């Protein structure tokens, strides 16, 4: 099933102003991805850096300190997200590319990086190969199967069709990464938990992040039913895969 990218873009456009007050896990994940890069690839001193799905710019905010001399290119599908990033970052040494990372043609970069954006492409494996081949170092984090399983279970328990997302398994991803035969690679997984007072709060959270997308349409009546039925606290888990490859 193909992703409705116009709809995803609209959700992130609308969430651009609320994203920074909401995206604590995304910030932690960005920090962890860069820590892994520095720890496991200490020889990575990139002149050019491309951040895919940069959002409001968490990755470049951190990387500016680590690599103040580098030239940055920031990509996103959402123009409003790029506008938020532009407000934070010095204009010198930064260029912006609005567009879908899956179809956009990019120049070769020393480092290509992407934090929690690759779940929004149709063909994850093809996208990983594309950016591995366009860089010396490719560092990314993406969501794994099991992410938000607690939320999907609430729908199933209520006999309602759950939101549909496709996330890869760690073994499948690790196998694919190995098949690219990188000269060196590092992979790790991490779980991040969040607790919400009730179902309505979690729905508001997804909307404020721009992540309120499902492959199939969820009728408002189903969402209202879930809000009515499910008034307890909800713990949801992000399962995140961190990976860095060098050629
Ligand atoms: C969860 S946010 C992560 C943002 C940022 N990397 C961070 O660490 O906070 C996902 C971002 O990817 C962007 N995005 C989604 N699909 C994309 C695509 N196909 N090409 C480029 N950007 C995309 C969204 O607009 C959004 O800004």
pLDDT at residue 84 greater than cutoff 80: yes
pLDDT at 92 > cutoff 80:
no
Atom 18 of ligand 1: nearest residue by CA position: 100
- Of 22, 75, 77, 117, the one to substitute when testing ligand 1's pocket (max ligand atoms within 8 A of C-beta) is 117
Whether residue 120 has pLDDT greater than 90: yes
pLDDT at 210 > cutoff 90:
yes
Which CATH number is correct for 5-144+166-191+239-246, 3.50.50.60, 3.30.930.10, 3.40.630.10, 3.40.50.150?
3.40.50.150
95 or 1: which leads in pLDDT: 95
Q: How many whole angstroms from 12 Cα to the centroid of ligand 1? A: 8
pLDDT at residue 59 in the model:
98
CB 84 within 8 A of CB 19: yes
In this structure, the residues whose C-beta lies within 6 A of any atom of ligand 1 are 8, 12, 23, 26, 30, 52-55, 58-59, 75-78, 81, 100-102, 115-117, 120-121
Distance 36 CA to ligand 1 centre (A): 20
Hey, which residues does 240 pair with through a beta bridge?
143, 190
Please give the pLDDT value at position 150. Answer: 92
Residue-range domain boundaries for the chain: 5-144+166-191+239-246
Confidence of residue 126 (pLDDT cuts 50, 70, 90): very high
pLDDT digits (tens, 9 = 90+) for 24-38: 999 999 999 999 999
Angle 188-194-199 (CA atoms, 0-180°, nearest 5)? 135
**Average of per-residue pLDDT across 184-201:** 96
Q: What are the tens digits of pLDDT across the range 149-179? A: 998 888 888 888 877 788 999 999 999 999 9
Q: Kindly give the interhelix angle for 5-15 and 199-209, rounded to the nearest 10 degrees.
A: 100
**Substitution site in 14, 19, 120 for ligand 1 pocket (most atoms within 8 Å of beta carbon):** 120
Mean per-residue pLDDT over the chain, rounded:
94
Which residue lies with its CA nearest to atom 14 of ligand 1?
A: 53
Q: How far apart are CA 123 and CA 3, in angstroms?
A: 10
* pLDDT band for position 247 (cuts 50, 70, 90): very high
Going along 160-224, which residue ranges are E strands? 184-196
Ligand 1 center to residue 104 CA distance, Å? 14
pTM of the shown model: 0.96
* For residue 206, pLDDT beyond 80: yes
Give the pLDDT of residue 175: 97
Under 8 Å between Cβ of 142 and 125: no
């Amino acid at each position: 099933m193909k992703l409705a990218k116009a709809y995803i873009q609209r959700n992130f456009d609308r969430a651009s102003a609320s994203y920074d007050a909401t995206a604590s896990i995304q910030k932690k994940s960005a920090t962890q991805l860069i820590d892994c890069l520095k720890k496991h690839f200490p020889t990575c001193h990139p002149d050019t850096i491309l951040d895919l799905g940069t959002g409001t710019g968490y990755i470049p905010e951190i990387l500016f300190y680590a690599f103040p001399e580098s030239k940055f290119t920031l990509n996103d599908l959402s123009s409003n997200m790029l506008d938020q990033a532009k407000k934070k970052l010095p204009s010198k040494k930064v260029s912006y590319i609005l567009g879908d990372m899956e179809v956009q043609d990019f120049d070769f970069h020393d480092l290509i990086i992407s934090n929690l954006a690759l779940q929004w492409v149709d063909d994850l494996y093809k996208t990983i190969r594309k950016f591995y081949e366009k860089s010396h170092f490719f560092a990314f984090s993406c969501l794994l199967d099991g992410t938000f399983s607690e939320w999907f279970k609430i729908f199933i328990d209520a006999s309602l069709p759950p939101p549909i997302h496709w996330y890869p398994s760690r073994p499948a991803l690790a196998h694919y990464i190995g098949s690219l035969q990188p000269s060196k690679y590092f992979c790790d997984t991490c779980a991040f938990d969040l607790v919400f007072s009730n179902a309505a709060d979690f729905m508001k959270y997804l909307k404020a992040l721009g992540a309120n997308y499902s492959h199939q349409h969820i009728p408002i009546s189903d969402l209202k039913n879930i809000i009515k039925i499910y008034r307890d606290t909800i713990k949801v888990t992000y399962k995140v895969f961190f990976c860095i490859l060098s050629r």
